[in-house]
Homo-oligomer: A and B are copies of this chain.
């Protein structure tokens, strides 16, 4: 049901303070994260092998985590290295440990075969500390299966309806563009790329003097395994769309914004949604204020998604025998579904 050989975002780095083990359920598995003496992150299953007490109720001791039910202590690799009142420790006294990475202001965990954990498979996420964009860290939890969020992101035509008054600004032309614009959809090795030109969009106010009242916007996103969404929106001078065709213009855009999002399943019915969203750091204005206003817009818009997707989940659960009907507009979701099926089959075989 879940892809396992992939890096899942577990949280922002600041969510894992020193000395405080953090319980976290990911992909329906109980995990505990803690920082070792030198600050490096470690992740173990949150279940002492002795009496199945949660290690997250324990305490950090140096690089180790001690269970506070009967005092067994485990290192970051999950090996028991202290059993109070005993001199020899049975080999069976160990818990599962997981490969983890700290990158892009975030903590990432590899849920599959540790031997296959490959740092190069971590997508080029953009954290809140990026020098290129003004970004603040966002997070929302959805009471819905991760696939509903995934399919929602892979088909942005929903912006015309769900976000008609927020992203769409109540503008009929803008919403029509989201609904009807032609998409350029490309398979990637571990994802799908979707590009779309929206010509004649309103130029951002501070650029009008230089670029005229309308410009052409190129919106491009990659949706990557296991649920990383990377979208850039770039404003070019009017006419660029027609001139460029499917190629990306070589000149610098007038304006740009970016959003990086990570969809992490907690359980089959709850999903964590992490995001950054902000403008170019070259954009004029107060960076801190921009971070906060983009964060607020993100929250408003994703709240609209959440209302719809949670309602959708309830409809699905009321009769799980009913199947979705995918049609033209769903080309990107369908392409991604096939990729995931292929990867799941490969994992099952291994």
Contact = CB atoms under 8 A, between A and B. Distances in A.
B57 A311 contact: yes
Interface string A277-316: 0000000000000000000000000000001100110111
A161 B69 contact: yes
A49 B319 CA distance: 13
Given A50-B325, A50-B327, A85-B157, A318 B68 contact: no
Interface stretch (A86-94, A111-119, A251-259, A338-346): A86-94
Interface residues of A, number: 47
B70 A157 contact: yes
Contacts of A324: 50-52
A259 B258 CA distance: 64
A52 B316 contact: yes
Contacts of A68: 161-162, 308
B85 A329 contact: yes
A93 B158 CA distance: 18
Nearest to A84: B179
Contacts of A158: 69-70
A67 to B, nearest CB: 8
B69 A314 contact: no
Contacts of A316: 52
A54 interface: yes
A268 interface: no
Interface string A58-73: 0000000001111100
